[in-house]
Amino acid sequence: MAKSQQTFSKREKEKKRLKKREEKQKKKDARRAEAKESGGGIPFAYVDQDGNLTDTPQDPSEKIKVDASSIELGIPKKEETDEDPFDPIRKGKVSFFDYSKGFGFIIDSDTQEKHFCHVSGLVDEIAENDKVTFELRKGMKGMNAVNVTVVE
């Protein structure tokens, strides 16, 4: 395509591309020159006993010998206990429930967490401030209270 047939914007874009290429080359040359002046290469760094980067190596007498077999990779194994850490039946208090909307919330008495409760998960009729027992099941947006019964 002849230069006279190119549009103004195409020529401007071409000029910008050439200018960027030249600037990139200048920066590259400047880095090379700086590396030659400073002794070349990437500066060397050491890690001290606290995990900080330093420019001096650690004293060999301060090094600690670590047994590689003592390092656990992954999730540590759980210790077995006699009692069940997760009691399936939880106790709580109804903080809000609206039968016209069909849902409400129950506050767990142990963890003080709010759990969603749908009308389909009720065994007994509940009202606000009732003490209840319930089970937790994974729902669409978190844990839901199901099998909700009123405690007398």
Band of pLDDT at residue 6, cut at 50, 70 and 90: confident
What is the number of domains present in the chain?
Answer: 2
> Stretch 26-49: mean pLDDT, rounded?
79
pLDDT band at residue 2 under the 50/70/90 scheme: low
Residue range(s) defining the domain that contains residue 106: 90-150
Tell me: pLDDT of 39 over 90.
no
Which of 5-14, 35-44, 54-63, 126-135 is the most confident on average? 126-135
pLDDT of 82: 52
**Which of 109, 59, 54, 114 has its CA nearest to residue 87?**
109
In a domain, 81, yes or no: no
* Same-domain status, 50 and 94: no
Residue 26 located in a structural domain: yes
Greater pLDDT, 2 or 142: 142
**Partners of 122 in beta bridges:** 148
**Mean pLDDT taken over the chain:** 84
64 neighbors 47 (Cβ within 8 angstroms): no
CATH of the domain at 125: 2.40.50.140
* pLDDT of res. 84: 47
Q: What pLDDT score does 56 carry?
A: 84
> Is 65 inside a domain boundary?
no
Report yes or no on 130 lying in a domain.
Answer: yes
- Domain assignment present for 51: yes
Find out whether 107 and 95 touch, Cβ atoms under 8 Å.
Answer: yes
Residue 5 counted as domain residue: no
Indicate the helix (H) or strand (E) that contains 133: strand 131-138
| pLDDT band at 91; cut points 50, 70, 90 | very high
The per-residue DSSP string of 71-103 comes to PPPSSPPPPP-SS-SS-SSEEEEEEEEETTTTE
User: Do residue 49 and residue 100 come from a single domain?
Assistant: no
Residue 122: inside a domain: yes
Task: Let me know if residue 45 belongs to a domain.
Answer: yes
Question: What's the pLDDT at 26?
Answer: 95
Average pLDDT over residues 47-53: 83
